[in-house]
Amino acid sequence: MSHTVARVHVRGAELAYEVLGHGEPLVLVHGGMTGGHSWRAVREALARSFRVLVYDRRGHSASTHGHSLASCARREHEDDLAALIKTLGLGPAHVAGVCYGGSTVLGLAARHPALFRSVIAHESPLLGIVDDGPALALVRAAQAGIDTAAARIRAGSNEEGARGFLEDVVLGPGVWGRLSGPVRDRILANTPVWAAEQADPHWAGIDLDALSAFPGPALLTYGADTVRWLPPITIKLAEVMKHADLRRLTGMGHSPHVQDPDAYVNLLTTFIADARDTTGALA
């Protein structure tokens, strides 16, 4: 399948994107320190069933930031996502996100549910919604690790910060050395915007009351082999969302679309088909 990268001006930034396939629209939103390339193992398979939009979020990879990194709030990414869906005529769409991308998807779903046919989010790091119980200590430790990594990046130690975040917070020891050179280079290029995102005082929170009113189907997932602080967040989100399907993914960690692309494609296509059977046209 041929790929043509296009560009669109959205809210002061120029976003790089690709649209592949035909069918119901499916938008894929990447996580932190990465870009639309992170979906490369699944996008063509998904494009056999859907019209797939893959893009680089503001300030990441081939997309420009548009203004100072100091104002890089998650709401900016949510508004960009809304503008993309509208500008490209994809709404309402199925929208899937991983990590920070999942937080972006859920944040927009809480504010503008009419843009969605369904929501699919894997391990959204919304640490702010955990305020008591045994998970609180885990979340606080994760936040400390994130703060340390961001401080190192702001001080100019991009590799030290990126390695610390990936190995100590989300993926586990040794992962940095297993990444290819091009992947490490892309991560390092995206570390400044990642650090800026952590300066947003609202990056880890969400309006749970608004999210609970989301009327469409939702699939919330976490990996059986992921770090301990992420599952409690996903479980709490599933308790809040009235129509959420909570799944624990056996053999998976924080990046299921990379770890087992075939299983991830099957997960999304089956969920959307089942949701369509339950809710009709999902229009």
Model confidence pLDDT, tens digit, residues 47-95: 999 999 999 999 999 999 887 666 689 999 999 999 999 999 999 999 9
pLDDT exceeds cutoff 80 at 18: yes
Q: Which fold has domain 6-132+204-279?
A: Rossmann fold (3.40.50)
Average per-residue pLDDT for the chain: 95
179: phi then psi, degrees, rounded to nearest 5: -80, 145
| 211-262 pLDDT, tens digit each | 999 999 999 999 999 999 999 999 999 999 989 999 999 999 999 999 999 9
Secondary structure (3-state) at 135: helix
21-27 average pLDDT score: 97
| 254-277 pLDDT, tens digit each | 999 999 999 999 999 999 999 887
Read off the pTM: 0.95
| 183-216 pLDDT, tens digit each | 999 999 999 999 999 999 999 999 999 999 999 9
How many other CB atoms are found less than 10 A from the CB of residue 201?
9
**Token pair in block for residue 133:** 């119980």
pLDDT for the residue 70 = 62
Confidence of residue 281 (pLDDT cuts 50, 70, 90): low
Secondary structure (3-state) at 145: helix
CA distances, 156 to each of 38, 159, 176 (Å): 25, 9, 18
pLDDT for the residue 210 = 98
Cα separation, 266 vs 272, in Å, equals 10
How many helices (H) and strands (E) the chain has is answered by 11, 8
pLDDT for the residue 276 = 81
pLDDT for the residue 5 = 87
CA distances, 210 to each of 108, 199, 206, 228 (Å): 10, 24, 9, 27
Alpha carbons within 13 A on the beta-carbon side of 188: 14
| 160-190 pLDDT, tens digit each | 999 999 999 999 999 999 999 999 999 999 9
Cα separation, 170 vs 88, in Å, equals 33
